[in-house]
Amino acid sequence: MSRRPYIREPSKTGWWLAQPRYIRYMMREISAVFIGIYIVVLIVGLWQLSRGEAAYIKFLATAEGPAGLTFAVFAMLFAIYHTYTWFQVTPKAMPLTLGSKRIPGAFIIAAHWFGFVLVSTALWLLVGS
């Protein structure tokens, strides 16, 4: 006779502050922004490199200045967080079975980290020094 269902709306902007898991999620999403900006920085670097030594040295001076380094550190931390969260979810998206047994998620995640370290080390050796 007198129903009046009550709707409790979440805050459109602040909903993610309500729970730690939402904050972690937003950090994961924001990490992409930092990675994106860093890629832009790399592209600018390449472009400056193409304009000659002087331009490139000027670019490096900015990139290796205090602001540049601070940004780079943050970007790297976010990149590692991004990588960590991405690897964590891979078993969910691609469940693998060997015969009839499900391959444990931990194994898949470990394999990704192993591959990551392998590729990073290889690149470092190739172009690092």
Query: Contact positions toward another protein, by CB under 8 A?
Result: 1-8, 10, 12, 15-16, 18-19, 21-22, 25, 29, 89, 92-95, 100
Contact residues for 26 (Cβ-Cβ < 8 A; gap 6+): 16
Distances (CA, A) of 15 to 11, 20, 21, 78, 84: 5, 11, 11, 22, 24
- Supply the minimum distance, in Å, between the C-beta of residue 102 and another protein: 8
- Supply the minimum distance, in Å, between the C-beta of residue 83 and another protein: 15
**Minimum CB distance to another protein smaller for 12 or for 54:** 12
Cβ(106)–Cβ(94) below 8 Å: no
**Minimum CB distance to another protein smaller for 36 or for 95:** 95
34: closest CA among 59, 70, 58, 6? Answer: 70
- Supply the minimum distance, in Å, between the C-beta of residue 31 and another protein: 14
**Minimum CB distance to another protein smaller for 65 or for 104:** 104
